[in-house]
Structure 1
Amino acid sequence: MSTRPAIDYTNKDYQSLRRAMLDLARYRIPEWTDHTPSDVGILLVDMFAYMGDIILYYQDRIASEMFPGTAVERRSLVQLLRLIGYELAPPAPARADLLLTFEFPSIAPVATTTIVSGTLFTAAGVGDTTIEFSYLGPTLGIDLRSDQAAPAPAVRPNTERASVRLPVVQAGAEAQIAIGSSTGEPNQLFAIDRAPLLAETLTVEIDEGGNWVRWDRRDSFLYSEDDAGRLLLSPADARDYTLTFDDAGLARIGTGDGQFGRIPPPGSNSVRATFRVGGGAAGNVAAGAIARAKSAIPLLVVVTNPMAASGGTDAEDAASGARLGPAVYRSNRRAVTLDDYEAQALRAGGVAKVKARSRSWNLIEVIVAPEGDTLQPLPEDLRARLLDFFEDKRMAGTLVRILDAERAPIELALAAEVDPRFHADTVRQRVIDAASGYFAFAAVDFGQTLYQGDLYALIEAVPGVVAASITRFARLSTSDTAELPVEDELRRAGLPALDLLPDSIRRALVGRTSPSSRIALGAYEIPVLDRLTTDVRVGALS
């Protein structure tokens, strides 16, 4: 007598279900022996296995969407993280420090200019697009002959020039739109259909019967914090609203229920919002890209950004939310440990990489590398925003400093032999791209150890490369006495090139300068490829 088949609850696919049903059929109805595809019983088994495969697939998907670590739909992750009070960060705007140059007559008794709050500047984007930057500080009246400006060399007779530095944020012109009509019901939601909305510029006003009243943004209707950091229960008549972003990145304004937070009175188009749109990695434009003032500024002749804009990020992705959400929840919105400072800094937006350290009992140094394509110094506007962000999170008596990441310049020299069937120039560019990609800002981190073997693997994987040789792999020193590459030493000494020397001398020189197999960096350093020399040729390497 056959034994009853065991049920395997891990068999959830079509083939496993079909096999399990046929095994059970052999036990229950051994007289059924026709298992050909034309048999109606086999048809029913196939249909049930197909239906079971679909149902079990959706059950697994539902179970997976219940946990941040396994959820794949952004909508699920948004809702799960809200249970612990964490919102996925919207796109953050890039920031830059502009250098404005003004020109005025030497004989002018007064040389003043005005930079109005909201002044717009533009930079060239991808294709025919432009990216707008705004000055969001207070209106400035500047005496160009005072210490408010720095003298600049004149380029025309009988004129003077002065320059002024100005912090700007990736943001467009201010817009004001009606976002909905209040019905007088509790817990209303109003959507803003412009994206990406810059939260720091948002103002919400509600018509309460003949006049517009500004409401205040809160993280929660249940409580708020005063200037001293004390928790206060929100009264029923508080003019508060919440700002959240849905899975599509659109902003939603929420109002209270009458018990916690006031209910807006009913009215047509009674809720309006004033805001600016901006944010995203596209705002990290290169140095010199911001070259035009869209708003009129008296006496302005030249505008530029000496350093690349940085800090612009796209909306926080699911992987980042699943990692940072629990960390921020464990810190209870406070920064106590070094891990707390790092998690909170990433949460602030505009920060690509961060490391925290403590050199005394009451001093925390947060080393920050802003978002961008390359390692850049922190824009002063972003530095100030981070300091303000930590103000209500640091422990009493603890000082916080925001520092730039330390730059570790690397020098690399390599040679590669090209297969004659490949175009040498194409292979050369691919080799350069592969070597540069190893040091790309997105691929490196603080204190990362660099290995020569990894570079060999990347270069030799390039199609058309037959062999490769790395002749220089070291930190680049700015000292005049630093060791130079062999070719540079020979050139400086007036000697022939390396490939023109006898084999015995060439082997000795190459052996003397054999690069190390790895480069160890300090805990707060980020590697940057500062000098790359390539020698890609058809034929064997000498």
Structure 2
Amino acid sequence: MSIQFRCSNPRRAQVLSTVAVAINGIDFLEVLDHDAPPGAPPQRTLLVHMIKDTPWGLGTANVRIEGGARVTQIKVEWAVRAADAAQSDVDAGRMTAAERAFYNGLGDANRVLVVRVDQDGDFSAYKLRLVRSTTDARPPVGFDAILSEVEFSFKVECPTEFDCAPDESCPPVETDEPVIDYLARDYSSLRRLLLDRLAVVMPDWQERNAADLGIALVELLAYTGDYLSYYQDAVATEAYLDTARRRVSLRRHARLLDYPMHDGCNARAWVQVQVDVVELTLPKGTPLLTRVSGLPPMVRPNSSQLTRARMARPVVFETMETVRLFQAHNELSFYTWGDERCCLPAGATRATLRGDYSATLAAGDVLVFVEKRSPRTGYRADADLERRHVVRLTRVTADSDPLGGQFEQPPTADPVAVTEIEWVAQDALPFILDLSEVQAPADDLEPGEPERQLASVALGNMVLADHGETLAPETLPAVVDPTRYRPALERGGITHTASADMTQPATQALRQFPQKALPAVTLLSTSGTWTPVRDLLNTDRFQTEFVAESDSDERVYLRFGDGRTGRLPLVNESFAAIYRIGGGEAGNVGAGALAHAVTTVDGITAISNPLPAAGGVTPESLEEVRQYAPQAFRTQERAVTEADYAEVAERHPEIQRAVATRRWTGSWYTMFLTVDRKGGLSVDAQFEAELRRYLERFRLSGQDLEIDGPRFVSLDIAFIVCVEPNYFASNVKAALMEVFSSGVLPDRTRGFFHPDNFTVGQPVYLSQVVATAMAVPGVRWIDTEAGKGKPTRFQRWGEPARDELAKGQIDIGRLEIARLDNDPSRPENGKLEFIMEGGL
């Protein structure tokens, strides 16, 4: 098999073969390699096929071989017509008898010129040309000038993986590139660039009038180029976390890094609603307004008073639950069982109310304890506004005091009905609440009020409200192309709120996590209700969920699913958006700021929030996302090792320190977690269940978890204290006992042995004890030397000393916590003794 090399103009060869013109030319050329007859050297015999019969006299002098890269100057040994190959050629040694027979036997032997060269060429292209003579390069007489030459290769039958057909495409004409300023990207520079180019290609056009059509087209192209340049820059800018400028882009980049960027969160407040009817129900979603001068507590919807209030731009809250209100709960008095100087201690979780409220007060209700009048002056204005605390009741029990009437003025023999209330430990009273009766000044008494009043009271009718105003339903544009449906809400600054648990402790109800807050938007359509989610990655194709994305201009765009992650809206489907606006730190209003309710319910006499609103957070800034998102993955989100469990547990807001121990329990490994709760609270069943729920998403599958409290190590400490000459020893000792107590001091600092000052594994250092004692006024020195007959002790209670005084510390195990309550009734909880010498 041989490859045919044809001339570069096959159309001309076809025409030449069909017309009656006495002009000949080369049709194609073959290089004999594997198909060469016996005796013929491979790749050195060329068969030149003519379009017409090869003329007589065409021989060696009329053939030239040109080209080559490495092998050049190839000479033609002989050339003869295939039909004219004779015995004389065989006798002369130019060819073998087999070759002669092969050439003579060709089907078109009269049209074939056999050419033998002295050597085979390389892999480059060669050209065979027919010339008149060795000195005249013109085509032979009677040959076409175009078809008198042909390109070929000697290596056509060498193995190759490419197509042997030559590429006959004509390369484009190379022209000089125009000089273009590629830095021109805005309107003015692009306009100048276009005019400069036109001055080169159209030098006769000199018009520069703005009304000229050419100038108008130039400016139109410059405008389009400016827009496209901005689009390219914007796309490139938004493609990276470090350069993105839009909140939507940064949110999606951060989500890829598993960082939940937040758009802020609204504030919450506990609001008291006082009524003058026996009972009424306040519905969920009732608007509450901050104080507007001259307006009553209750404002009717669509009234002139509401229009006036709107002009003052008040902050709007809305109730988060439906609540029953009772006139008897406007103000509840504490019952002190006849004690005139009574108080609720810090850490209290129970109290007694005067009156029987068992029919209207129940577990789950919320009360706020407030100091109504100053215990010293009796004035309302002097009351400490910080002595206010909210609690959620866990038990309400009716009772009576058979001697209660004896403390009335005048005394009676009638019993007094009381109600015992209890609340959760998380709502424990953080301060001392004075319950004593005070003499109210005459100029600070309302008509009909008694002169003797309790300094502190409890407020009922509490309802949780959050910042945000619900707007009227907004109709969104109809769906035309579901895949590109991205409607924008008319109002910006929508509310972001987290779900509320109405059973959690009241003090935790105001604590929110912005990362879990969702936009307060709901969509209604013919296909049902659509709810917002943070993203659609975990949404299936049937769920009616969407994402509300806030941009830098506070506009909110709604993004729907694509039919795989989230349901795709239907063509012509209509939506109505119901959403709230308002949020951020603007909702953190002070105590007493809320004063009006917009409702049709009659009977409301006063609105107030005894405690400041809290939880309002502004949207996370773009720079914060750039700083925090790349580091988000460093936060451990799984617990495998002991250190993992301890670190994850310490993220819980109620845990001060945790220690984990992995033990083999017979069939598998169990992780034992020892936790130190803040405030020295015990690890009860309720807290253990809550902590288990918190740790469940971190826990390693197949690994059991056991939670317990630490082992408390009671201390036994005794020192000799030398008192300064001008101080009473008893006063100095009382001061020492107070400083080394386990409670909170009157100045709200912690005592030395307060539970939060020590944690698991923390030793007790003698130097710290001495330094604290020496700081007490009146202490001259502390004797810490142990000796025969000396009462000095610094050791574990109930155990022999282990040279703790010599070492200067009491060692505490990794699962132990030092404790010293110095309670004479419970010496097993630690004992502290100071032997005073000197002084007065």
TM-score range, shorter chain: 0.3 to 0.5
Task: Kindly indicate whether structure 1 or structure 2 has the higher relative contact order, using CA contacts under 8 Å at least 6 residues apart.
Answer: 1
| TM-score, structure 1 normalization | 0.46
